[in-house]
Amino acid sequence: MSYLVKSIMSKPVVTVDANSRVSDALELMRKKKIASLVVKPSRPDDAFGIFTKRDIVTKVVARNLDPRHLFVSEIMSKPVIKISPIATLRECSILMSKAGVRRLPVFDDDKLVGIISDTDIFQCVEERGWESEFETKDDQDPFLVALHSRVRSQLDLGTDADRVAAAITLAVGELYRAL
């Protein structure tokens, strides 16, 4: 079974009001030693936002603006891209990559329950490795364990389209023959 977002997400999430001054939000980030804040909706029908160090660099420092005279709402990203706590780390990393973001707030339905960053995923993979989709327990079907190993070896040679197609063809062929 794959690692899930909920197993490595940070909680509780540090939040900030959209009408806070950027300088106050920066001080909060410094005190908490974090790189982002989730911005709470200002109205019940409003969306969550996110305020990151990247926002500071690209929207304040690069434009030579004074953070004491800016509000979080003026530079935050909104609405946020969300992830479920039961998403796999692989799904999370793909979503981050496609969206071009480094962190995702974690929502269980409409409730903010955590936040996950690319650093969290990297540390997990470095410490534990990518856990296999198939556990190799003694009580598992030996055919499936062997098939998984053969497909994995194909994919270890590369993940270009031809290699993935070869792995899929191998898996489908073996499953068809087993039926």
Question: pLDDT tens-digit profile of 18-43?
Answer: 999 999 999 999 999 999 999 999 88
Q: pLDDT-derived band of residue 117, with 50, 70 and 90 as boundaries?
A: very high
The helix (H) or strand (E) run that includes residue 121 is helix 118-128
Q: pLDDT-derived band of residue 12, with 50, 70 and 90 as boundaries?
A: very high
Q: What is the mean pLDDT of residues 164-171?
A: 77
Tokens of 85: 């706590």
Evaluate whether 86 touches 6 at the Cβ level (below 8 Å). yes
**Amino acid 50: pLDDT:** 96
CA nearest 83: which of 1, 9, 12, 29? 9
User: What confidence tens digit (pLDDT) does each residue in 70-98 have?
Assistant: 999 999 999 999 999 999 888 899 999 99
Kindly state the DSSP code that residue 60 receives in the 8-state scheme. I
Question: Looking at this protein, which amino acid is placed at residue 169?
Answer: T
